[in-house]
Amino acid sequence: MARQTAALSHPHWDRRPADPIRYRITARIADWWNGRQDARAGLPAVAPDPDPTEPPHGRSAAFTPHLEKLRRMANDAMHHELVHLQQEVAEPAYQLARAGAQLVEAERALTRAQEALRDLKAPTEDELRARRVGETDTDESVVRKRRLAPYLERRARLEAHRQEAEEALVRLRQTRAELQERIARSQSVAAARARRIHEHSWRRIGSYWQRLVRKHPAGEQLNRTLRPGGPEVPGWIDPAGERVTAGTAAGARPEPT
């Protein structure tokens, strides 16, 4: 109890691990029963081992009706997660596409505002000194302020326009980042759910295969030369297209005996 309390007090251990998907007793009994019945029927067929003393070069995947049933049930459940994911991210994906188009236009608007501000030319010294009708006796500083005022007003408007365009661009970039994060979070959850289904299916396959090997008349040879065929992690989980299959180094799992 003290050890458990100490573990839960760790800063990175603030809750108990989640329970695996419930393996109901009815499903467990069904897997055991099918394993025993298939073993009695001699399923799967085992080819003679030419040299039992040598380790097998590679075990072939074995499929029985019950293994095929478990595999297809897992595939169906994982595909359902994909359907749910597509429905969940449909609206954010649409908003993301719209934000992307708006972002392109906002970048162009900012570029135009910056160019307009850069191309605005200040009045020359001669233009600042130029007097108009009625300004013959006006102080030169007043004349300069009058000639400079339109330029400053124009520059202030362009600067305000540039600032508005920049703020709009920042808002759109923030919106895009939030939508991308929302979609990525949904994808992570869907991937985790699909992997849980995958692992639960292999848990059931392990129970079935264990009973099959123990009751099969050629159980030792069966365990040496064959491995259970089961579901793969769907390719949509990994953008690179890599699949984690039973027996690979990346997705290796303890083989049931």
What pLDDT, on a 0 to 100 scale, did the predictor assign at position 18?
84
What pLDDT, on a 0 to 100 scale, did the predictor assign at position 153?
94
What pLDDT, on a 0 to 100 scale, did the predictor assign at position 133?
85
At 198-255, the pLDDT tens digits run 999 999 999 999 999 999 999 999 998 999 999 999 988 874 533 333 333 333 343 3
Contact 222/46 with Cβ under 8 angstroms? yes
Helix orientation angle between 65-119 and 140-215, rounded to the nearest 10 degrees: 170
What pLDDT, on a 0 to 100 scale, did the predictor assign at position 4?
52
At 149-176, the pLDDT tens digits run 999 999 999 999 999 999 999 999 999 9
What pLDDT, on a 0 to 100 scale, did the predictor assign at position 129?
84
Question: Which of the residue ranges 8-12, 33-37, 67-71 would you say has the lowest mean pLDDT?
Answer: 8-12
At 64-86, the pLDDT tens digits run 999 999 999 999 999 999 999 99
| Residue 223 CB neighbours (<10 A) | 21
Cα separation of the two ends of the chain: 33
Question: Which of the residue ranges 44-58, 94-108, 118-132 would you say has the lowest mean pLDDT?
Answer: 44-58
What pLDDT, on a 0 to 100 scale, did the predictor assign at position 138?
83
Residue 181: pLDDT band (50, 70, 90) is: very high
- The pLDDT of 134-138, averaged and rounded, is 81
Our measurement of the distance from residue 198's CA atom to the centroid of its chain's CA atoms, rounded to an integer in Å, reads 17
- The pLDDT of 188-206, averaged and rounded, is 95
Share of the chain above pLDDT 90, in %: 64
Examine the pLDDT at 13 and tell me if it is beyond 80.
no
What pLDDT, on a 0 to 100 scale, did the predictor assign at position 231?
95
Residue 137: pLDDT band (50, 70, 90) is: confident
At 15-29, the pLDDT tens digits run 888 889 999 999 999
Q: Which sign does the torsion angle of CA 141, 143, 145, 151 carry?
A: negative
> Can you give the pTM of this predicted structure?
0.75
Share of the chain above pLDDT 70, in %: 84
160 phi and psi angles, rounded to 5 deg: -65, -40
The tokens of 66 are what? 């019950």
Residue 53: pLDDT band (50, 70, 90) is: low
